[in-house]
Structure 1
Amino acid sequence: MPQVLEFKLPDLGEGLTEAEIVRWLVEVGDVVAIDQPVVEVETAKAMVEVPCPYGGVVTARFGNEGTELPVGAPLLTVAVGTAEPSETVTGAGAGAGAGAGAGAGPGSGEAAVDAEPSGSGNVLVGYGTGAPPVRRRRVRPQALSAPAAAVVAVAPGPVAVVSPLVRKLARQHDLDLRQLAGSGPDGLILRADVESAIRSATPAPAAAPAGTPGARPAVTAGLTTRPAGERIPLRGVRGAVADKLARSRREIPDATCWVDADATELMAARAAMNGVSGSGAGPKVSVLALLARICTAALARYPELNSTVDMEAREIVRLPEVHLGFAAQTERGLVVPVVRDAQTRNVESIGAEIARLTEAARTGTLKPAELTGGTFTLNNYGVFGVDGSTPIINHPEAAMLGVGRIVPKPWVHEGELAVRRVVQLSLTFDHRVCDGGTAGGFLRYVADCVEQPAVLLRTL
């Protein structure tokens, strides 16, 4: 008989603890090769294709598209090779609950034994993660006659639940999971099944009499009454953004200063770089790339703003490298890709990296490592047609520069009123790392570079 190996959702790095199944890339019965991507998941940071470290036939999948699984929960089982008669390995064959950490009890006839890794060990290709040794289980003789992918009902055996969150929810509401029929693959009990059972067991609250002042429609979810309306789960990228921004507001005493700048000369310099006659060589230089280069020059003069705060040690940590994040709006929400070592790059290099990361953000192929580790963020909200904003700092950074739209406005130039291209710049900073004088000096230097790009020649 083949060995049925269980592949669990791997640790995707960067402290991620869960992921949502977006799209299955294989079906039960498909033959997969080692390191072949089998499922596309969305984490709090990016969309990731997860490869399977085993080669063989897919015998079971755990979780429908849209299901959120914790790291360590079973993803699928694969039948590989030929098993030794006394050590037939089972994944789903011994009950789906086995993948949820349901250990073998005394007298159960099961004994877990270590095995050599069977597969590539590359739990996530490109992320440098290694696979721990595969765990094998001996199964009772009566279970060996069942098909490898079948769920064996053994009473009082393990319950078909893989998510610890589902078990916890059931315990909180005194639900016996053995009495529930799972709607997932092979009878797997999902969170939706438990919530449905809770709603069925909870009487609906009496409706307020018509015309009662302050009465409003409500729905019952679990044991609480909540207002009616469309509910959108805060998870994935949207949930990560919500958590990070809320933490920033809780922990960082921020302040904002802003200034209007005449960007006419900057735009003229950009046009000259790009060759308005069409004779220019190389990729076009973007306004964002120019502003990013200005930021790195300003941070060299004001390193206080390229830092973070360690409150446990009560220390300000000034960071030697500038990893410049920039806000990018995508169909999946706001993400902040990071240009590594921006202080070593010229305008052309920064522009090329911004273009690469922006395209990856739009296609959902950014790696978690490309979305973390920023030390300063540049936010160009002018693309939304607005002039100003008060940015929220991207925790745990110390500052963010916001840039509004560049539009023609009346401006006093060389003593006379003229129509110039004006932009509003705003800097939100952590008041723990510096005072207003430093923040004002940084912002004024940025504005001077925008108004007189030749100022940058000192740092090029």
Structure 2
Amino acid sequence: MAIASGASGASDVNCLEFKLPDLGEGLTEAEIVRWLVEIGDVVAVDQPVVEVETAKALVEVPCPYAGMVTARFGEEGAELPVGSPLLTVTVGPEVGADTGRSASGASGVSGTGAAGAGDSAGASGADDDSSGNVLVGYGTGGAVVARRRRVRVTGGTRTGPVPQPALRAGPVPVISPLVRRLAREHGVDLRELAGSGPDGLILRSDVEQAIRTPAADGTGRAAPVDAGRASEPVTAVAAPISATATATATAAAAGSRVPLRGMRGAVAEKLARSRREIPDATCWVDADATALMAARAAMNAAAGPAVPKISVLALLARVCTAALARFPELNSTVDMEAREIVRLPSVHLGFAAQTERGLVVPVVREADGRTTESLNEEFIRLTEAARSGALTPAELTGGTFTLNNYGVFGVDGSTPIINHPEAAMLGVGRIVPKPWVHEGELAVRQVVQLSLTFDHRVCDGGTAGGFLRYVADCVEQPAVLLRGV
């Protein structure tokens, strides 16, 4: 355990080690995206201290202890395994008093000691109302202040407050990982910005404006602000022009390297595993979606303007659940060790969603028991969570069949890669007017291409073709769905 100077010397002061907690869903490591506290900050129970990216989602990790941060382990961008030290917190009567004065409105913080250093889930220095949970959204503690009074730890002596700029109190209102990354890369302190979005939300345009605004250092860009070194002089050293030019030329010749880690790495591994292990095949068909679009327009007109519009994705999801009821072979997985096909009892429908952090596949649970309206509501909720980076690991796993609407990218067709360990994926292209033979005459109709990629181990082409044909029939004649009602 690392203990900073000044953390010892009194019998009633403890230094507790907070380890990276188990984030669930079998995740074994996480990348540090952004530290939310500095050494010397005083934190409250359940206060977020670090933002990490796992293979599933971007989450803020709250600390179960109240006290002063005396050490941090790992720089931004570093990967840490679950169970490794994350930070240490000094707790005791004096630190607890500082916390109580600076964290008004937070969970009740006392000056007593806490659980042992190895107990990463236990609450210490807090009353019974504090949860001590390690994932944001799972705790019961109240709102906390993100920044506390700073004390400098030097030479074994804890000195008084260090002068620093006036900073925003409370959590920084930023939900977009892209905005956080843009600010970090350009040295913009988000705590000093006033957001122009709803309720003070900091938008990308706010960060870009801060980057364009000349800072005090005269560089023409926002100067990096390190709250931990606010009182120390900063000296900029420019590299020789010739050396810089040489380094740039070398980098250009060698190309750039992008680490495959976090969510991007998880997606890459899953796609590669799908190609290695699944003998997939693809069939496709063009369908006349004119009647489906007319049915959607009629449903939305009847519901009124105050009700969320039914999306094409929701209609196709309802078609998929009906088709899977007729062809359950495609709602299955393969256990090669037992040499068995496992047919699954419920349809957990995944859908591909493109976000600022890349492709994610949120899962609608028990989709086969939902109405079209219920499917639509869940798509809206999960899509908003995906774009804000708020999806939980549980919402990104456990799918049994995936619906991929790549038509939103303006393309007609594709050959989807199965989302391992599922057995099939339905791809949907854009719906566009095309010449079509309708009732024996050439007409302009709304046409869509449907592609089904399936695991040839779970079924043969006849089953896959029957599934795809049923989907196409429902698209062309939505009343077909009424046969099974």
Instruction: Tell me, yes or no, whether TM beats 0.5.
Output: yes
Tell whether the 8 Å contact from 1:375 to 1:397 is kept in structure 2 after alignment. Answer: yes
Counterpart in the other structure of 1:328: 353
State the distance in 2 between where 1:118 and 1:349 align.
39
What is the Cα deviation at residue 124 of structure 1?
2.6
In structure 1, the gaps of 5 or more residues are 84-111, 129-144, 150-185, 187-216, 220-226
Counterpart in the other structure of 1:246: 272
What whole-Å deviation, never above 9, does each CA across 1:182-202 have from its counterpart, x for those lacking one?
A: xxxx9xxxxxxxxxxxxxxxx
Structure 1 residues 238 and 114 mapped into 2: Cα distance closer, same or farther (>3 Å)?
Answer: closer
**Amino acid paired to 1:322:** V
Counterpart in the other structure of 1:423: 448
What is the Cα deviation at residue 431 of structure 1?
0.4
Q: Do structure 1's residue 402 and structure 2's residue 402 form an aligned pair?
A: no
State the distance in 1 between where 2:119 and 2:380 align.
46
Counterpart in the other structure of 1:290: 315
Tell whether the 8 Å contact from 2:321 to 2:347 is kept in structure 1 after alignment. Answer: yes
Normalising by structure 2, report the TM-score. 0.67
Counterpart in the other structure of 1:81: 92
State the distance in 2 between where 1:10 and 1:115 align.
10
Tell whether the 8 Å contact from 2:18 to 2:117 is kept in structure 1 after alignment. Answer: no
Tell whether the 8 Å contact from 1:6 to 1:76 is kept in structure 2 after alignment. Answer: yes
Counterpart in the other structure of 1:14: 25
Q: Do structure 1's residue 69 and structure 2's residue 80 form an aligned pair?
A: yes
Sequence identity of aligned pairs in percent? Answer: 81
State the distance in 2 between where 1:114 and 1:45 align.
26
Tell whether the 8 Å contact from 1:4 to 1:148 is kept in structure 2 after alignment. Answer: no
Spell out structure 1 runs of 4+ moving beyond 4 A: 112-118, 125-128, 145-149
Normalising by structure 1, report the TM-score. 0.70
What is the Cα deviation at residue 38 of structure 1?
1.1
Counterpart in the other structure of 2:285: 259
- Superposition pairs of residues 140-289 of structure 1, within 5 angstroms: 146=156, 228-275=254-301, 279=304, 282-289=307-314
What is the Cα deviation at residue 27 of structure 1?
2.0
Pairwise CA RMSD: 2.5
SS at match of 1:275: helix
**Amino acid paired to 1:32:** V
Tell whether the 8 Å contact from 1:23 to 1:40 is kept in structure 2 after alignment. Answer: yes
What is the Cα deviation at residue 8 of structure 1?
1.0
What is the Cα deviation at residue 376 of structure 1?
0.2
Structure 1 residues 148 and 424 mapped into 2: Cα distance closer, same or farther (>3 Å)?
Answer: farther
State the distance in 2 between where 1:280 and 1:273 align.
11
SS at match of 1:288: helix
Counterpart in the other structure of 1:362: 387
Tell whether the 8 Å contact from 1:59 to 1:148 is kept in structure 2 after alignment. Answer: no
**Amino acid paired to 2:315:** L
Tell whether the 8 Å contact from 2:45 to 2:123 is kept in structure 1 after alignment. Answer: no
State the distance in 1 between where 2:33 and 2:93 align.
32
**2:439 counterpart (409, 414, 419):** 414
Tell whether the 8 Å contact from 1:3 to 1:82 is kept in structure 2 after alignment. Answer: no
Counterpart in the other structure of 2:342: 317
What is the Cα deviation at residue 146 of structure 1?
4.5
What is the Cα deviation at residue 68 of structure 1?
1.7
Matched residue pairs, number? Answer: 343
Structure 1 residues 430 and 127 mapped into 2: Cα distance closer, same or farther (>3 Å)?
Answer: farther
Structure 1 residues 22 and 114 mapped into 2: Cα distance closer, same or farther (>3 Å)?
Answer: closer
Counterpart in the other structure of 1:207: none
Structure 1 residues 74 and 271 mapped into 2: Cα distance closer, same or farther (>3 Å)?
Answer: same
Counterpart in the other structure of 1:457: 482
State the distance in 1 between where 2:436 and 2:40 align.
70
SS at match of 1:312: coil
In structure 2, the gaps of 5 or more residues are 1-9, 95-115, 125-130, 140-154, 160-227, 229-248
What whole-Å deviation, never above 9, does each CA across 1:162-214 have from its counterpart, x for those lacking one?
A: xxxxxxxxxxxxxxxxxxxxxxxx9xxxxxxxxxxxxxxxxxxxxxxxxxxxx
Tell whether the 8 Å contact from 1:273 to 1:280 is kept in structure 2 after alignment. Answer: no
State the distance in 1 between where 2:435 and 2:274 align.
37
State the distance in 2 between where 1:313 and 1:33 align.
50
Tell whether the 8 Å contact from 1:296 to 1:342 is kept in structure 2 after alignment. Answer: yes
State the distance in 2 between where 1:270 and 1:336 align.
25
Counterpart in the other structure of 1:391: 416
State the distance in 1 between where 2:92 and 2:483 align.
66
Tell whether the 8 Å contact from 2:63 to 2:132 is kept in structure 1 after alignment. Answer: no
What is the Cα deviation at residue 127 of structure 1?
5.8
What whole-Å deviation, never above 9, does each CA across 1:429-459 have from its counterpart, x for those lacking one?
A: 0000000000000000000000000111223
